[in-house]
Amino acid sequence: MGIELDTSAVARLRAAVTGTVYVRGEEGLAAEISCFNPAIRHDPDIVVAVASEEDVVEAVGFAREAGLPVRVQATGHGAEAPIVGGMIVSTRGLDRLSIDAEARRAHIGAGLRWAPVIVAAAEHGLAPVTGSSTSVGAVGYSLGGGIGPLARHYGFTSDWVRGFRVVTADGRIVTADRQTNSDLFWALRGGKGGLAIVTEMTLELVALRSLYGGSVFFEGGAIEPALRAWIDWSADLPDEATTSIALLSVPDLDGPPPPLRGRTVLSVRFAFPGETAEGEKLFAPIRDAAPVYLDFVAEMPATAVASIHNDPEEGGPTWIRGFMLDTFDQDAGDVLLELAGPGSGAPFLAVEVRQIGGATARDTDDGSAVGGRDSGYTLSLLAADPSTFAEAAPARAQAIADALRDRISAITNVNFAGDLADRAAFEKVWPSAVQERLTATRTQWDPDRMFAFGPA
Ligand SMILES: Cc1cc2nc3c(=O)[nH]c(=O)nc-3n(C[C@H](O)[C@H](O)[C@H](O)COP(=O)(O)OP(=O)(O)OC[C@H]3O[C@@H](n4cnc5c(N)ncnc54)[C@H](O)[C@@H]3O)c2cc1C
């Protein structure tokens, strides 16, 4: 399967790059492009594991000559379907990081995960606005917008991006920021793909050393009153605080903390980047709602942000479906309890509802392509038992979607949308005016659609 690559052109590419070139069948290729979800195995014709911006230029030149589609992968956290054929540019080697503390800027290489950025920024009392998991790639995440545990206070992460360096489809290295190539800058903040290969991102950091946050867990008969209290309480929460819930069916295996193993629990997450006393006061109604099984909400260093959601560090086979909701009221709570709650027989490991709004509803003054600003909540359904992926998980997700259809938003942010090769999913990730402008921007910067993205 696949195409015949010109071996002398491959040899020239190998000689030209400082990184590593793998063609199909070569040792090391699979490891270079492994995905967070190991059930997804890519099968490209060629992989260029770039070590510099110049390597990206060489890779793009090779792909252009060979007529190959090009896709980009950093961590593989975003892989939703196998990539078959073409070139993958693996950016893991683009790991340069510098912090300009005075200007509160981080210059982040495209291969970096959030974790090292958090550590480096903290040395200056600063923090990047990140997602729930710090092993996600900073650039891939921000290209989709990025909705994190502090989203209501700080907005989308892409709102804090101040510039990109990219390699274009015609092999040029250009910058995109407010002043230069501002159309491309608009598109890269939320437009995700099909535009250019980002080699470096400049992110404004926020002054944050500590926050009041974490998660509490409810189990058994406490789950329903806690969920119901959360629904009413979150509706009136000030924009400075961000919260989410997750109904978790924790497997009885090594890995999760022993008190959680084999139990169904409701986790209520909270993040407040203000005074501890005020955070305690804000969070008190949740602690009073029902007997708390485990309580990990406290003052924490900003570097511990990943402990708010406790996403798994190691990937595993997963099936995922995401939506955004305009509202999440007690009727929606009924649906969740009936179709995904304890004893419902739902095949999900996690059912997560994040409240957004606040700063996520406010666009940057120069505008950006992010989808989902008008929504109030995200809903993610995640199954981990492969025997449920074909039927049980999709069928139960559909039943939940049907029951919530009046609340499901017209738009689902691209980072939550699943497989973008699915035309129906792709058409929902941006409002139509944004879709049109993105298509025009993609056509301008990549007229031959070399940077394959979305439905074929
Ligand atoms: C455990 C987990 C937690 C998550 N938490 C959140 C969250 O809290 N909030 C949220 O918004 N999202 C979240 N996500 C979704 C995540 O933001 C997306 O999956 C994102 O695409 C991952 O980026 P990556 O670079 O790590 O992944 P990759 O699979 O390496 O890349 C994903 C995509 O990003 C694009 N891309 C990556 N690098 C480049 C580049 N240099 N140039 C051009 N395009 C590039 C490509 O289109 C690529 O297909 C989470 C995902 C996981 C698995």
Give tens-digit pLDDT for 294-311.
Answer: 999 999 999 999 999 999
Tell me the C-alpha distance between 284 and 272, whole Å: 13
- Element at 30 (helix H, strand E): helix 29-32
Q: Which of 150, 415, 446 to mutate to test the pocket of ligand 1 (most atoms within 8 A of CB)?
A: 415
Whole-number pLDDT of residue 313: 85
Domain ranges of the chain: 7-90, 97-207+429-445, 210-420
Please tell me whether residue 78 adopts helix, strand or coil conformation. Answer: coil
Give 406: exposed, middle or buried? Use CB within 10 Å, 0-12, 13-18, 19+. exposed
Pick the residue whose CA is nearest to atom 15 on ligand 1.
Answer: 415
Q: Which 8-state DSSP code applies to residue 408?
A: B
Expressed in angstroms and rounded, the spacing between residue 344 Cα and the centre of ligand 1 is 31
Assign domain 97-207+429-445 to its CATH architecture: 2-Layer Sandwich (3.30)
Whole-number pLDDT of residue 258: 82
Assign domain 7-90 to its CATH architecture: 2-Layer Sandwich (3.30)
Q: Judge if the beta carbon of residue 109 lies within 6 A of ligand 1.
A: no
CATH number of 210-420: 3.40.462.20
Task: Name the token pair of 371.
Answer: 């989808």
Check pLDDT > 90 for residue 401.
Answer: yes
Task: Kindly report the backbone phi and psi dihedral angles of residue 200, in degrees, each rounded to the nearest multiple of 5, phi listed first.
Answer: -155, 145
* Spatial CA neighbour of 148 closest among 17, 30, 308: 308
Categorize the per-residue pLDDT at 2 as very low, low, confident or very high, splitting at 50, 70 and 90: low
* Spatial CA neighbour of 287 closest among 220, 234, 214, 216: 216
Torsion (CA) 330, 336, 337, 343 in degrees, nearest 10: 180
Q: Give the Å distances, CA to CA, from 425 to 269, 399, 455.
A: 28, 17, 9
pLDDT digits (tens, 9 = 90+) for 95-116: 999 999 999 999 999 999 999 9
> What share of the chain has pLDDT > 90, as a percent?
94
Categorize the per-residue pLDDT at 456 as very low, low, confident or very high, splitting at 50, 70 and 90: confident
Expressed in angstroms and rounded, the spacing between residue 113 Cα and the centre of ligand 1 is 10
Q: Judge if the beta carbon of residue 141 lies within 6 A of ligand 1.
A: yes
Whole-number pLDDT of residue 312: 87
Q: DSSP H helical segments within 175-318, as ranges?
A: 182-188, 223-235, 276-287, 306-309
Whole-number pLDDT of residue 409: 97
| CB distance 222 to 290 below 8 Å | yes
The β-bridge relationship of strands 210-219 and 264-272 is antiparallel
Provide mean pLDDT across the span 152-179: 98
pLDDT digits (tens, 9 = 90+) for 8-50: 999 999 999 999 999 999 999 999 999 999 999 999 999 999 9
* Spatial CA neighbour of 312 closest among 80, 119, 112, 135: 135
Ligand 1 atom with least separation from CA of 354: 8
